[in-house]
Structure 1
Amino acid sequence: MKKTFAFTSLAALAVAGAVSFTTLSAAQGTDEQPAVADAETAVAVDPSKEITIWRDPGCGCCDAYADYLEAEGYRVIRIDDRDFAKTSVSVGVPEEGLGCHLAKIDGYYVSGLVPAEIVERLVTERPDIDGITLPGMPQNAPGMAGKSGTLKTYAFDDGEVSVYSNE
């Protein structure tokens, strides 16, 4: 009798466990699953791949540059700022070195149409500077028509300017 009672108790526990497992599995396939999926996809974007661009809303080359960065794997946030030049100077970009827009990535300012490989080098090497600038709108810069020739990018920090890249 004791063996039958023990066997019946074990069988009941096994059935209860199977029912609980089935119920939990079924619940995950309903409304509870999106919350789990959202938690999994809510991983923060790598700051070295998220870039904010302040640009003149009528500037087609700024949009072309943003599209170029997106094609290079960046998440681009575009902010319309008709007075981006004033904003640029306020963060340390030298007036004589202004590019056609201002960007910020991983704590650095980037002024102008700087190629993605130079931006990547900046956030990888992490030099002790405020940022870099590619002055003006060179025809061979990303977002412009041409594709060949060298581009001289400058580093700026506390009023000091030096060549960062000449490629």
Structure 2
Amino acid sequence: MTRYKCTDNTLSRRALLITTALFPLASLAQPAVTVEVWKTPTCGCCKDWVKYLQESGFQVKVHDVQDTSAIRRRNKIPDDYGSCHSALVEGYALEGHVPAREIKRLLRERPAAVGLAVPSMPLGSPGMDGPAYGGRRFAYDVLLISHSGGADVYQKYH
């Protein structure tokens, strides 16, 4: 059996096989999407939503602010659709307790829109669904906010 000496310019057959086998896996790995969140420092449901996003595979960068209304205006979310925290993800605004499933759908579909909102703080939405809320759940809508300031139902939750 002939042995080949590995030099700086050649790969051993084993190294070549390992590299070839792992290359498809490396191409599948995608960096986590970052969601940037503005919330007040004492809001428990905001902290729960951040934790929920992290558990759903997002990286989260948190900014504690005293008032989120300026961020909401900067993100072009009308006050009628306001909630307790505002966020940005890949150029889209997120307002309130938006489910991760709809964020991922938004990023897949890429509609011409400002972003998504779950107005108010509906019980049963992500971050408003823990034991502290007694397991109560209310129906709510995830709204797709248009550039004109209007909104359409993007997804209903019952």
TM-score by length of 1: 0.69
> Identity over the aligned pairs, expressed in percent?
30
2:60 is equivalent to residue 76 of structure 1: yes
Structure 1 position 44, deviation (Å):
8.0
Structure 1 position 100, deviation (Å):
1.2
In 2: Cα distance, 1:101 partner to 1:133 partner: 10
In 1: Cα distance, 2:66 partner to 2:60 partner: 18
Q: Tell me, which stretches of 5 or more residues in structure 2 are unaligned?
A: 9-25
Structure 1 position 113, deviation (Å):
0.5
Q: Tell me, which stretches of 5 or more residues in structure 1 are unaligned?
A: 1-17, 22-39
- AA aligned to 1:113 is H
Corresponding residue for residue 150 of structure 1: 139
RMSD: 2.4
2:108 is equivalent to residue 110 of structure 1: no
Which runs of structure 2 are paired with 1:131-142 in the superposition (5 Å)? 131-142=115-126
Larger radius of gyration: 1
Which runs of structure 2 are paired with 1:55-66 in the superposition (5 Å)? 55-66=39-50
Corresponding residue for residue 165 of structure 1: 155
Contact 2:118-2:140 at 8 Å conserved across structures:
yes
Corresponding residue for residue 86 of structure 1: 70
TM-score by length of 2: 0.72
Runs ≥4 residues deviating over 6 A: none
Structure 1 position 150, deviation (Å):
2.9
